[in-house]
């Protein structure tokens, strides 16, 4: 299972980055894909994702993927967010997984398991 | 190079997902990691990323990674955005790369290369 | 009460707009206060506001203003959001109250009281 | 001119707050208008506003209100942002103008005119 995923979807983060770069180049959209513009587009897509969840109760939101229509919309918005995050990281020359792993290691130092357990205050700045 | 990346950082999207899940479980933070809360946290981190770029000219933003201090801050914020996007997708049971690939295929149909070339209007809804 | 407010805080939206314009002019910040930059700053401040609420339960969030520290932070973030919204509207030549009133009138047509009552689906696009 | 505005649109911030409260009450939407939900809606509307500006050059964005179609969309999005900001402040019991004025006074102390003049670094955290 893990090895399938590593060779499959996980292996394709590199492919996705390449495909999105090619997608932009074919359409001569690199001129629009500046760091500021892509950051704005990322924020815009996150806004659309929030709009899908904003009026749901916590219980409804936890079940949103079981609703075929709402679930498909949430999945599409998450796809859009990922697209702009991958494009932005590519334009800036940042490796997404390494940047996230480094940040997680930093959080592990700041929030040791024993003292952070079950604490929303500590969860705030994870 | 590609094979190194596929086995290395790209292969680790699965690992990153697992590590972030374990990080939350060890600290009993799953109770806070609901879809709505994670979407809000994602939006909050994107806001911090925008704050790093907002007063820069387009030219300055294009060079931001060459500034050691600003570059490190941008990289850290991108890491935070990735962390919450991965967590949100994991909680919802969504594969990030597949969701993005599906959305890209949809955009390819809506914006054929010939008609979309160099057009900001078409870039709007990529 | 209403007349006090109309002459007092409400009357000062015009004053606030003027004061913020002067604040920027005195510091020669108009060069940074372009529509795109101000929209990014607005989004960044909304992100900081979300960060104050993201890990709270709905019940905790409803009581957040009774906590002196958290309440002061939320109030300060709301103040920041208002500052950038007023600046952005001023730079674009948009009257905030009129724009909101027009949008509310539009929503009133789309969501008649009888059919919209108590409906989250209708609340979605208010 | 100023007196017209002070008696007119500015005086109506109080009216707008009242009208939006009544709008929600008539539709029994107070149940959805919790602080977290309204903050998400605010963020979502800011995202839609960013989407209107994201692919424009700084020069195009500075002229966006001269385009009847794009200008109308930007104005409508700003109206939506204002609506949710007013609702959120009302639910939390915060006076928007006072909160912004207090924050501006704080910024005036942190960024004295002489030292802040023309500085993007100082503009960052206004």
DSSP letter for each residue of D91-120: HHT--HHHHHHHHHHHHHHHS-HHHHTT-H
pLDDT number for residue B4? 41
Q: Tell me whether residue D40 is in a domain.
A: yes
Q: Within the 77-96 window of chain D, which residues sit less than 8 Å (CB to CB) from chain B?
A: none
C7: pLDDT strictly greater than 50: no
Cβ contact B96:D32 at 8 Å: no
Q: Specify the higher pLDDT residue, A122 or B114.
A: B114
Per-residue pLDDT tens over the stretch B68-82: 999 999 999 999 999
Q: What is the pLDDT of residues D79-124, one digit of tens each?
A: 999 999 999 999 999 999 999 999 999 999 999 998 888 887 655 5
Average pLDDT, chain D: 89
Average pLDDT over residues C95-112: 95
Cα angle A23, A25, A31 (rounded to 5 degrees) comes to 120
Pairwise pLDDT comparison (B120 vs A108), residue with the higher score:
A108
Q: pLDDT tens-digit profile of A61-87?
A: 999 999 999 999 999 999 999 999 999
Range(s) of the domain holding residue D81: 13-106
| Mean pLDDT within C97-120 | 92
- Alpha helices per DSSP H over D8-124: 12-26, 35-53, 58-62, 68-92, 96-110, 113-116, 120-124
> Does the pLDDT of residue D75 top 50, yes or no?
yes
Q: How far apart are CA B99 and CA B96, in angstroms?
A: 5
Residues D41 and D84: beta-carbon distance below 8 Å:
yes
Q: Which residue of B has its CA nearest to A61?
A: B35
Listed in sequence order, the DSSP H helices in C8-112 are 12-26, 35-53, 58-62, 68-92, 96-110
Tell me if D74 is assigned to some domain: yes
Q: Per-residue pLDDT averaged across C84-107, rounded?
A: 97
- Can you give the CATH number for the domain in which A86 is found? 1.10.287.1080
Work out how many domains chain B is built from and give that number. 1
pLDDT of the residue at B121: 61
Residue B21 belongs to what H/E stretch?
A: helix B12-26
Q: Which chains form contacts with chain C, at 3 or more CB pairs under 8 Å?
A: A, B, D
* pLDDT averaged over every residue in chain C: 89
Q: Please give the model's pTM, rounded to 2 decimal places.
A: 0.90
% of chain D residues with pLDDT over 90 = 80
pLDDT tens for each residue of C11-52? 489 999 999 999 999 999 999 999 999 999 999 999 999 999
pLDDT (0 to 100) of residue C75: 98
More confident residue, C126 or C84: C84
Q: Is residue D118 part of a domain?
A: no
Nearest-10 crossing angle of helices C68-92, C35-53: 160
Q: What is the pLDDT of residue B119?
A: 81
The pLDDT score that the predictor gives to residue A110 is 93
Are C80 and C48 in contact by the 8 Å Cβ rule? The answer is: yes
Region C45-67: mean pLDDT is: 97
The residue-averaged pLDDT of B87-109 equals 97
Q: Can you tell me the distance from the alpha carbon of D38 to that of A122, in angstroms, rounded to the nearest whole number? A: 24
- The reply to whether D39 falls in a domain is yes
- C49: chain A residues, CB-CB within 8 Å: none
d(CA B39, CA A74) in angstroms, rounded, equals 11
Cβ–Cβ < 8 Å for C41, B51: yes
With H, G, I as helix, E, B as strand and everything else as coil, classify residue B20. Answer: helix
Q: Answer yes or no: is B81 within a domain.
A: yes
What confidence score (pLDDT) does residue D4 get?
Answer: 40
B102 is a domain residue: yes
Distance CA D106, CA C72 (A): 13
Best B53, B76, B80, B82 residue to mutate vs chain A (most A CBs within 10 Å): B82
In a mutagenesis test of the B interface, which of A1, A10, A62 is the best target, namely the one with the most B β-carbons within 10 Å? A10
Band (pLDDT 50/70/90 cuts) for residue A123 is low
- pLDDT interval class at A7 (50, 70, 90): very low
Reported confidence tier of residue A118, pLDDT bands at 50, 70, 90: confident
Helix axes B96-110, A12-26, angle to 10 degrees: 20
Reading the block at residue D107, the tokens are 């910024």
Distance separating alpha carbons of residues D97 and A111, to the nearest angstrom: 38
How far CA B25 is from CA of A5, A109, A117, B40, in Å, comes to: 22, 16, 9, 20
Residue A8: inside a domain, yes or no? no
Cβ contact (<8 Å) for B48 and C47?
yes
Burial class of residue A86, CB neighbours in 10 A (0-12, 13-18, 19+)? buried
Identify the CA nearest to D49 among candidates A102, B4, C89.
C89
Contact D124 B51 (CB under 8 A): yes
Q: Cβ of A46 and D43 within 8 Å?
A: yes
Residue of C nearest to D2 (CA): C14
- Tell me: the pLDDT tens digits for A20-37? 999 999 999 999 999 999
Nearest CA-CA partner of C77 in D92, B35, D119 = D92
pLDDT band at C59 (very low <50, low <70, confident <90, very high): very high
Cα C112 to Cα C124: distance, rounded to the nearest angstrom? 14
Task: Say if CB D118 and CB D111 are below 8 A apart.
Answer: no
Q: Please give the pLDDT value at position C5.
A: 42
3-state helix, strand, coil in chain B (%, to 5): 75, 0, 25
The alpha carbon of residue C25 and the mean position of all alpha carbons in its chain are separated, in whole angstroms, by 22
- This complex has an ipTM of 0.89
What distance in Å separates the CA atoms of residue C34 and residue D4, rounded to the nearest whole number? 27
A120 touches chain C (CB under 8 A): yes
**Measured distance CA(D102)–CA(C8) in Å, rounded:** 15
pLDDT in tens, B5-61: 444 444 489 999 999 999 999 999 999 999 999 999 999 999 999 999 999 999 999
Note the pLDDT of residue B104: 96
Give the list of residues 6+ apart from residue D108 with CB closer than 8 angstroms, or none.
C23
% of chain A with per-residue pLDDT over 90: 80
D126 within domain boundaries: no
Residue C37 in contact with partner chain B when CB distance is under 8 A: yes
* D36 part of contact set with chain B, CB < 8 Å: yes
């Amino acid at each position: 299972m893990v090895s399938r995923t590593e060779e499959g979807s996980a292996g394709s983060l590199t492919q996705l980055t390449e495909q999105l770069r090619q997608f932009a180049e074919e359409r001569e959209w690199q001129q629009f894909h500046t760091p500021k513009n892509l950051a704005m587009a990322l924020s815009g897509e996150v806004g659309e994702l929030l709009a899908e969840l904003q009026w749901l109760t916590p219980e409804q939101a936890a079940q949103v993927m079981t609703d075929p229509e709402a679930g498909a919309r949430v999945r599409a918005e998450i796809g859009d967010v990922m697209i702009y995050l991958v494009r932005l990281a590519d334009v800036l020359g940042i490796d997404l997984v390494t940047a996230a792993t480094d940040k997680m290691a930093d959080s592990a130092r700041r929030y040791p398991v024993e003292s952070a357990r079950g604490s929303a205050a500590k969860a705030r700045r994870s």
